[in-house]
């Protein structure tokens, strides 16, 4: 991939996505579950660009959505209703109503209060809503606390006893159809043991429900498979699948897996140009045209991204902080990072930027979000144009007082 040519044609800051890499990751994970009824439901929040979602739709993927906006994106991208799941802790009445009317595969319910709202709204619509219940197995996922979701300290899901009450309520309801169970203990998981332990707990719940004549169809294992940002040892998809499937002996369930980061993170690159270097005492800064409003992960939770310099400089690497123009001390991509001496307009490539990059972006400091480009079979194409100032003020301008 010629990053200099891409930066020259589409300007910087710029996101670039390798769709062929995404296909390879998808097929590897799909192959891992071969021989078992399964659906891969792409986690749209990882990278919600319509062209990316459509790419996965063309591969046969479903969609895991955490807002009604993502549900609408999934439909626009060509994902059929029977492969769309609506998850998330705080669904509004309007979102629940639309999801029921669109007849998606099921709504993932995260609390008793939410279950009661789904039941009421479905009854008002004179429909039966398919639901799954998200179980919180209280297993430590051994990941960053901001992306841990499987402990009782986290806001997600319900405990086993609460789940049982909810299934019994749903079974006896005229407006609910309990079809699945769901668990997702966190993101960037690199240890198989917590995943296996969680699957054991949730599979045992399914067996206990069968004993009281509540038979589910879907075993939703969430996502969270980790990727290599630096030197992490990751879980092989085959080992992941075998660990899950080993807990389901005697159960006739379709496995649903919701990969996001695994499919897109290492397919993405964030390109940013050097503006200048700056010395403050003993500290050296490299100031670039990209900023925390473009790629928030380092500022948000100290995330590491490998950064590659494309330069003619032959100097020895030295320690620098790589920072952007936003008026915040938290506006950085890396601290104490080794890079050679850099010149104006040299290019930096931030790797592993295909997940939770553009989607977390903002217009802070009245900065337009960057363009997005897809590369497939060696051909590049624009899939989102760069925002300009008129885009940023479009929803405000008409309200200016004369």
306 with 231: CB under 8 angstroms? no
DSSP characters for 129-161? EEEEEEB-------S-GGGB-SSTTSSSSB-HH
Which H or E element spans position 275? strand 268-280
- Per annotation, catalytic residue among 314, 327, 395, 400: 327
Please report which helix (H) or strand (E) contains residue 31, including its range.
helix 19-32
Cis-peptide into 13, omega within 30 deg: yes
Phi and psi for 104 in degrees, rounded to 5? -70, 175
SS3 of 202, please?
helix
Q: Which residues is 374 bridged to in the sheet?
A: 17, 381
- Residue 65 appears among annotated catalytic residues: no
To which residue do tokens 């590049």 refer? 380
Q: Which residues are annotated as a binding site for pyridoxal 5'-phosphate?
A: 224, 258-261, 356
108 closest CA partner among 72, 155, 74, 157? 157
Q: What are phi and psi of 326, to 5 degrees?
A: -65, 145
What phi, psi does 232 have (nearest 5°)? -65, 140
- Known binding-site residues for substrate equal 261, 297, 301, 328, 356
Which residues are catalytically annotated?
A: 327
């Amino acid at each position: 991939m010629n990053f200099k040519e891409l930066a020259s044609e589409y300007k910087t800051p710029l996101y670039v996505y390798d769709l062929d890499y995404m296909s390879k990751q998808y097929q590897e994970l799909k192959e891992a579950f071969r021989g078992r009824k399964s659906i891969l439901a792409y986690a749209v929040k990882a990278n919600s660009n319509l062209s990316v979602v459509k790419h996965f739709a063309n591969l046969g993927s479903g969609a895991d959505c955490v807002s009604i906006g993502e549900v609408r994106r999934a439909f626009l991208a060509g994902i059929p209703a029977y492969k769309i799941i609506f998850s998330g802790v705080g669904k509004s009445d309007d979102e629940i109503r639309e999801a029921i009317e669109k007849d998606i595969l099921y709504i993932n319910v995260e609390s008793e209060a939410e279950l009661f709202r789904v039941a009421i709204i479905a009854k008002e619509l004179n429909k039966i809503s398919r639901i799954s219940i998200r179980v919180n197995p209280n297993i430590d996922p051994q990941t960053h606390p901001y992306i841990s979701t499987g402990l009782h300290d986290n806001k997600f899901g319900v405990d086993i006893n609460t789940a049982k009450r909810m299934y019994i309520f749903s079974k006896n309801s005229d407006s609910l159809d309990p079809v699945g169970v769901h668990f997702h203990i966190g993101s960037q998981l690199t240890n198989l043991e917590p995943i296996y332990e969680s699957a054991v707990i949730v599979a045992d719940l399914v067996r206990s429900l069968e004993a009281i004549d509540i038979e589910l169809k879907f075993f939703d294992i969430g996502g969270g498979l980790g990727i290599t940002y630096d030197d992490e040892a990751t879980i092989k998809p085959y080992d992941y699948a075998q660990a899950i499937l080993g807990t389901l002996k005697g159960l006739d369930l379709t496995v649903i897996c919701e990969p996001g980061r695994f499919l897109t993170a290492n397919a993405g690159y964030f390109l940013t140009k050097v503006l200048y270097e700056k010395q403050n005492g003993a500290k050296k800064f490299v100031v670039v045209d990209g900023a925390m409003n473009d790629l928030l992960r380092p500022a948000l939770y100290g995330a590491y991204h490998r950064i590659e310099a494309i330069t003619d400089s032959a100097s020895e690497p030295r320690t620098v902080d790589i920072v952007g123009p936003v008026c915040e001390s938290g506006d950085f991509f890396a601290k104490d990072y080794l890079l050679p001496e850099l010149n104006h307009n040299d290019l930096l490539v931030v790797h592993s930027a295909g997940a939770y990059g553009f989607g977390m972006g903002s217009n802070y400091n009245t900065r337009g979000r960057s363009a997005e480009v897809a590369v497939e079979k060696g051909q590049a194409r624009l899939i989102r144009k760069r925002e300009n100032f008129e885009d940023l003020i479009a929803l405000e301008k008409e309200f200016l007082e004369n």
